[in-house]
Amino acid sequence: MHLKIRHRTEYRYETPVRYSIQELRLTPPQNAGQQVEKWKISTPIKATNAVDAFGNTVSAFVQESPYTSMMIEAEGEVQTQDAFEFTDDSKAVSPYYLLQQTNLTEPTEAMLTYFASALPKKNSVDQVLMLASAIQNAITYVPGQTNFATTAAQSFAMKSGVCQDHAHIMLSLCRASGIPARYISGYFFAEESPNLASHAWIDFCSDMEAGVWTSIDITHACLVDARHIRLAIGRDYYSAAPVKGVRSGGGDEELSASISIQQLT
């Protein structure tokens, strides 16, 4: 598919922000499933680009003059095709590092007991897909009940969440089963479900020595395909977040975000 994407994030503050640092992972990579034809990120001041340990392009900027609103916009065109297997280059983060839990993924005994029959015994696609189906069935997709700081354990306790929560629970259970797994942030094209435009899923390592990863969408309990556009890789949401930052001042914050994806002929 040939997809045109526009992602706008706007912040408004109660009082002037005196100083802030923003870090953006809003640049889709070129890989087996996607070719980026054009892409532009607009920020209030010029950003500098670097590549992080996971190979993500990171755009960062510092604002030292007071402001009460800030707009960040990313837009471009991507050609996608069905692909669910990705091979790391020689500089990639070791799969063994991605066996470690984080604060967002740490499982509880109740989680491990509940999903005991679905935990994969080996890192095969069939067994990991079975776990994805078990999570999809157990955790009802309900927007608005969780946020970026909600842990896998909290979402499991509520038995509800969104794609980010599905991904964190999946990471938690894969790692508990001895399978390296990593968080993927991105976009999902579905004309009938625009609320899924901002999306998250996981890669699990299907060959640790060769650095081969298989990508699974837990919310849909399927292998990823041409509807998925990858943005960034991380240990969890926080390390792959499209937009994150720290600030001094500003008081209460109001955030509005919109993403539009359209298919071009």
Mind listing the pLDDT tens digit for each residue in 204-241?
A: 999 998 999 999 999 999 999 999 999 999 999 999 99
E strand or H helix at 79, and its extent? strand 67-80
* pLDDT tier at 89, thresholds 50, 70, 90: confident
pLDDT in the model for residue 195: 63
**Given a cut of 90, is residue 193 above it in pLDDT?**
no
Full-model pTM: 0.95
Angle, to 10 degrees, between the axis of helix 163-176 and the axis of helix 125-138? Answer: 130
pLDDT in the model for residue 216: 98
- pLDDT over 90 percentage in the chain: 93
109: which 2 tokens?
A: 């005994």
pLDDT in the model for residue 194: 63
Rounded Cα distance, 138 and 159, in Å: 6
Rounded Cα distance, 219 and 139, in Å: 9
Fold annotation for 2-79+243-264: Immunoglobulin-like (2.60.40)
List the domain boundaries for the chain.
Answer: 2-79+243-264, 85-239
* pLDDT tier at 191, thresholds 50, 70, 90: confident
Chain centre distance of CA 131:
19
Task: Pick the range with the lowest mean pLDDT from 45-49, 125-129, 147-151, 194-198.
Answer: 194-198
**Given a cut of 80, is residue 39 above it in pLDDT?**
yes
CATH number of 85-239: 3.10.620.30
Average pLDDT in the 45-72 region?
96
Count of alpha carbons within 13 Å of 233, Cβ hemisphere only? 21
